[in-house]
Chains A and B, each alone.
Chain A
Amino acid sequence: DVKVTQSSRYLVKRTGEKVFLECVQDMDHENMFWYRQDPGLGLRLIYFSYDVKMKEKGDIPEGYSVSREKKERFSLILESASTNQTSMYLCASSLGASGRWGETQYFGPGTRLLVL
């Protein structure tokens, strides 16, 4: 079974703090993704990575950055947290190999972030 883990289930931070969300997958997947999930808006892609040190912007990258130094680990960074970044953050991974058609993404349990 694919396992995607996220470092925290719940986080409370103050406005202006730097926030790190960590994601680890154990199946040697090439692709990793960060989404935020908000009621009524579904999941929106923030960033994704298709290889170590490679990253691509998703639909809503503003206010976020990412880091992928090792294949199994993908970090989401909020340089200066703001209240509108209060949300559920989901990490996902998929096998990769140049965007295989029909590929499934596997999701972690999510991190619920509250910015005060």
Chain B
Amino acid sequence: AQSVSQHNHHVILSEAASLELGCNYSYGGTVNLFWYVQYPGQHLQLLLKYFSGDPLVKGIKGFEAEFIKSKFSFNLRKPSVQWSDTAEYFCAVRGNNNAGNMLTFGGGTRLMVKP
């Protein structure tokens, strides 16, 4: 079975600070990896995803994530956060044993950016 661990449940940053949110997964095979974001009062939406090729993935709003296979990690980064990045962030994984496109989500990280 797959599992996803997000180490930080709550993160508070000031505007312009750099962000890194950790995500580790447990699965030994080929994976799809996703970061979803949920802004206050809004739908969960895709931030970025990795499915093959370049392990450094760029997403919307200046976010990027790096897939490090040897560390089973897919950390999310942004060099300079804005107040509008205040949201909850979820990492998710799909393993290649999963023909049904089921995702396993981490517990989420709540980010608060102080103006």
Binding site for B on A (CB under 8 A): 4, 31, 33, 35, 39-45, 48, 50, 56, 58-59, 90, 92, 94, 96, 98-105, 107-110
B residues less than 8 Å from A92 (CB atoms): 44
CB <8 Å contact, A42 and B105: yes
Q: What does DSSP make chain A's interface, helix, strand, loop or mixed?
A: loop
Q: Does B61 contact A (CB under 8 A)?
A: no
Shortest C-beta distance, A52 to chain B (Å), equals: 15
Question: Which of A43, A94, A100 is within 8 Å of B105, CB to CB?
Answer: A43
CA–CA, A102 and B51, complex, Å = 5
Q: Does B32 contact A (CB under 8 A)?
A: yes
CB <8 Å contact, B106 and A42: yes
CA–CA, A65 and B110, complex, Å = 31
Inter-chain contact count A-B, CB under 8 Å?
68
CA–CA, A90 and B45, complex, Å = 12
CB <8 Å contact, A99 and B98: yes
B residues 1-58 with Cβ under 8 Å of A? 4, 6, 9, 32, 34, 36, 42-46, 49, 51-52
Shortest C-beta distance, A80 to chain B (Å), equals: 26
A residues less than 8 Å from B84 (CB atoms): none
Shortest C-beta distance, B103 to chain A (Å), equals: 6
CB <8 Å contact, A42 and B100: no
CB <8 Å contact, A104 and B46: yes
Extra contacts besides A98-B99, A108-B43 (20): CB < 8 Å: A33-B102, A42-B105, A42-B108, A43-B90, A43-B92, A43-B105, A45-B103, A48-B101, A50-B100, A58-B102, A59-B104, A94-B101, A99-B98, A99-B100, A99-B101, A102-B49, A103-B32, A103-B101, A104-B46, A107-B36
